[in-house]
Amino acid sequence: MSEKKYDSKLDQGSRNHIEGFGKVTGDEKLENQPYQIRMDVMKNNLMNIIQIISNATYEDLNNNTRDGVIIDIDSIKLINNISASQLKNNLENDLEQMHQTSKSIFFSCLKEKTINEKLGAEYD
């Protein structure tokens, strides 16, 4: 069907803000080196491709740069034997489901402290 992308770039040192990371791959620790992790996760009948990339640099329109981590989530609805009219009739609900699933996955990747202190907004 379609794809919903949910990206975020966190502040420098944000490796400490990612839930559950830092103790991976045997003796190697992720906290002191660049890394890229990809997972394909089925959730809510969607294929969710989750990528976490450290050592990223972002430059805004005012040429200010920030270093941090990128969390990239693509949610893809798998379609089997659905007519075009069924697809059209369910489009709004399907897109909302994709959005809510991506959002849920995104926030589950972050520590509560990061959500409250670094993102600086309230999320429903």
Structural tokens at position 89: 């009739």
How far is residue 27 from each of residues 23, 30, 42, measured CA to CA in Å?
8, 10, 29
Q: Give 12's pLDDT tier (boundaries 50, 70, 90).
A: very low
CA distance 40 to 51: 9
In terms of average pLDDT, the best of 27-31, 43-47, 80-84 is 43-47
Which pTM was predicted? Answer: 0.69
Angle at 23 between CA 11 and CA 9, to 5 degrees: 20
